Every structure is written in structure tokens, then in C-alpha cells.
Amino acid sequence: MSPFAVLPVRTPTLPPATHTNVYRLGDCVIDPASPEPREQERVLAWAGKVGRILLTHHHADHIGGVEALAAATGAPVWAHADARVPFPVHHRIHDGDLIDTGAGTLVALHTPGHADGHLAYQLVNTGHIIAGDLVAGEGTIVLLQPEGDLQRYLDSLARVRALADTLWPAHGPPQPASLADAYIAHRHHRTAQFLNVLRAGEPDRTLMADQIAAMVYSGLPGVNLQLAAMQVHTHLLWLAERGQARSVGEAWAAA
């Protein structure tokens, strides 16, 4: 049985997702996400008595309905100290904070990497974690500059993997926590591919991130090469921090 109530709402999110899950436990509603008035009305009718609005993170496809729900219910907005949102936050959440919802206690887990101030919420003494954008029911998660940070993301995945049996993502159905292992392996696989491309060919070859993306992702169906190039860039920064790649102007080379 699901420990949380879940309502997917239509949002301007990245394909293949089209919806964001709104979660509810006790009097807490997490990520009332949709900017569309009809979707906001659905959330209001579904939510019942709302005592607090909690955020996983500040991305547009998670916060579009926050102001409307706050205005309709008078509920305060709670978010991590590093979350940057265009509306008032009434309470800043810190890692390890306990939130008594009236129907169970949530533990806040600061899990950055995809977004600064990203929070996951574990139902205390269970393996159920509301995972925000750490994982998705379909596809992978994008790490975009300037806030995308591969090492912090890997650390966050490892952290929830150690605590969870089931991850409840912001997009798509619940997932076994072992999906986090697959995501970690996938990231290391991609890093190795990008490094291999840099190391191939003549010494001192330099490549732009979009050229690397075109070489690694070409032929894969449904790939957005612009987003792919941004992923490559995030991985190259990770390699540069470890002395395995270096930037040459706007381009990159193996170190």
C-alpha cells in the first residue's frame, strides 16, 4: 500500500515526462507543481486541509502551483535554505529536520547535485523516500550548469540508496531503490565514454562539449543534443576536478 497520496499534474517539464507528482502526507503537500489553473483546482480539491507546503527544489516544473495553493489555503511554504524561489518562503528546512505531518513524520534529506537546496523526504523508520528529481520513472535526470554537480549528485544517490527500499520520484511511478545503483553506474559509464573520446585521436586534440555529445549520443533515438552537450559539460567539469581533463578556451582536452 502506498504510504503517500500521489496526484500527477500537468507541467512544463522535460520529455519524456509530461507531469509532476504532487505528494501528500497528513497536512503536508509536497511540490504543488502545475502553473495551470485547472490543475491547481484539482490539487486544491484533492489536498483537503493543508497545513504546510513543502518543496523538493526550486525548478519551474515543481513550484508552478505553490503560490496558488498558499493563497487558497493560507498554508506556509517550507523549503531548503538554498532554494531560490520567486515567492516568500516562511520556513527554511535543514538536513535532518523532522516534520510531523499528523500522519507520520518525515525526515528531510539535503540531496544536492541536480539542484541546489534539493530535498528528499523519508517517512521515518521506513524505506520510503520522496525523491524529487534524484531519479525519474522514465529516462534520466539532467544536471545543468551552473548548479548541476556530478559528484554531489552521485553522493545524493548513494545516500538515498542506503536508506531507501522505494523511491517515489517527481516524475513517473515509484521505483526500487536499486535504480539509484543503475543511475550511478550509468553516470560513470558516460564519464568513461567522454574521456575515451577526448583521449582518442592525436595528442592535444581539443573538442567542444557539443562535438563530444554528437559523437557519443549519435544514433540514440530521441536525444536532445543540446541537453546532451550540457550533460557532457557537467561531466567534463567533474573530470577536470580530478585532473583527467582540462579546458582549452571553450574546448576540452584530455589532461
Nearest distance, CB of residue 124 and Zn ion, angstroms:
25
Residue type at 109 in one-letter notation: L
Burial of 51 (0-12, 13-18, 19+ CB in 10 A): middle
| Helix H or strand E encompassing 108 | strand 105-110
User: What is the spatial distance between Cα 177 and Cα 174, in angstroms, rounded to a whole number?
Assistant: 9
Binding mask 51-70 for Zn ion (x = CB under 5 A): --------x-----------
CA separation, residue 45 to residues 51, 68, 69, 85, 225 (Å): 15, 13, 10, 25, 40
Nearest distance, CB of residue 206 and Zn ion, angstroms:
31
Beta strands across the sheet bearing 105-110: 98-100, 105-110, 119-123, 128-132, 166-169, 175-176
For residue 54, the cross-strand partners are 30, 78
Choose between 14 and 215: whose C-beta lies nearer to Zn ion: 14
Nearest distance, CB of residue 217 and Zn ion, angstroms:
21
- 3-state DSSP assignment of residue 95: coil
Judged by CB under 5 A, the chain residues 103 through 142 that form the site for Zn ion are 133
Q: Is 106 within 8 Å of 142 (Cβ atoms)?
A: no
Nearest distance, CB of residue 184 and Zn ion, angstroms:
18
Q: What is the DSSP string of 46-60?
A: HH-S-SEEE-S---H
Choose between 26 and 64: whose C-beta lies nearer to Zn ion: 64
Nearest distance, CB of residue 228 and Zn ion, angstroms:
17
80 sits near Zn ion (criterion: CB under 5 A):
no
The residue at minimum Cβ distance from Zn ion is 59
Choose between 24 and 59: whose C-beta lies nearer to Zn ion: 59
Q: Is 7 within 8 Å of 46 (Cβ atoms)?
A: yes
**Size, binding site for Zn ion by CB under 5 A:** 2
Choose between 23 and 252: whose C-beta lies nearer to Zn ion: 23
User: What is the spatial distance between Cα 154 and Cα 80, in angstroms, rounded to a whole number?
Assistant: 20
Choose between 31 and 39: whose C-beta lies nearer to Zn ion: 31
Choose between 86 and 221: whose C-beta lies nearer to Zn ion: 86
Nearest distance, CB of residue 78 and Zn ion, angstroms:
18
Choose between 116 and 133: whose C-beta lies nearer to Zn ion: 133
Nearest distance, CB of residue 57 and Zn ion, angstroms:
6
Residue ranges that bind Zn ion, judged by CB under 5 A = 59, 133
